[in-house]
Structure 1
Amino acid sequence: MDATPPTPPSRGSSPRRFAGALLGLLQGHIALFGEELKEQQSHTLNLLVLTSLSLLFGLLLIIGLSAALLIAFWETHRLLVISGLCGFYALGLLSALITLLQRVHNAPAPFSASLEELARDREQLLP
């Protein structure tokens, strides 16, 4: 029987395993970041297209309704209708701007999943 005693693990493999684990974590984070970037890009493009279409059709509707009101009241209350339309448009503009500023201020941070994953890894690695 040729029995050789088991050799103790060498010190060289531990740093290699640590480096491999670190590179694996880094690769996972980069892949998650890339997926979130693609998702964010797709979401932004969809919002841009829908916003543009909404703006276009909304403006066409406003022009049509304004023209109809002006034609209907041209002989009797033309200045009152024009002033009322301008006031209505100003209120719409202000409410849209206030809503936009609130949403920009309260928007969630992009890449939050990557940041959460990094925080979890830091908690696990640090004592």
Structure 2
Amino acid sequence: MTIDTQSQRAKHGPLRRIIGSVFAILHTRLELVGIELAEEKDRLLAVLFLGLAAMMLATMALIALTVLIAVTFWDTFRWQALAGIAIVYALAALFCAVRARNGLRNAPIVFEAMLNEFDKDREIFRRH
């Protein structure tokens, strides 16, 4: 019975090592996913906060500028001044929309490091 048990262990030894290696690799990759998710979350929160602060401050500045221009030209060119302000705002909005669209199109690939590691793992397993 000891000979049968030892032969079974010998047969299952390489298989267990392979399965153990696969689980170790998966564990490492899942840790990498967690790290990348945490980094992406922190980056997005920082960008969101700064973007909201910038929009709030820019809105306040635009309101003040609009009032200043409207008051300055109220007696002479009131509708022309307001039309000019509206055109400037529309052009600025168009510029921001185009930049936002380009930013979304050119965004980095999420989980790029993890995908590269999986490709390396696949190549290693193909060789063996």
TM-score of the aligned structures, taking structure 1 as reference length: 0.91
Greater than 4 Å deviation, 4+ residue runs? none
Q: Which protein has greater RCO, CA pairs closer than 8 Å, 6+ apart?
A: 1
Shift of 1:57: 0.1
Which secondary structure does the structure 2 equivalent of 1:10 belong to? helix
**Going by fraction, where is helix more abundant, 1 or 2?**
2
Question: Structure 1: how far apart are the matches of 2:19 and 2:73?
Answer: 79
> Hey, what does 1:39 align to over in structure 2?
39
Unpaired segments ≥5 residues, structure 2 = 1-5
Q: Which shifted more, 104-113 or 54-63?
A: 104-113
> Hey, what does 1:111 align to over in structure 2?
111
Question: Structure 2: how far apart are the matches of 1:33 and 1:104?
Answer: 22
> Hey, what does 2:92 align to over in structure 1?
92
Shift of 1:123: 1.0
Shift of 1:31: 0.2
Shift of 1:11: 1.9
> Hey, what does 1:81 align to over in structure 2?
81
> Hey, what does 2:67 align to over in structure 1?
67
Identity over aligned pairs, percent: 27
Question: Structure 1: how far apart are the matches of 2:94 and 2:124?
Answer: 48
TM-score of the aligned structures, taking structure 2 as reference length: 0.90
Unpaired segments ≥5 residues, structure 1 = 1-6
Shift of 1:102: 1.0
Question: Structure 2: how far apart are the matches of 1:107 and 1:123?
Answer: 27
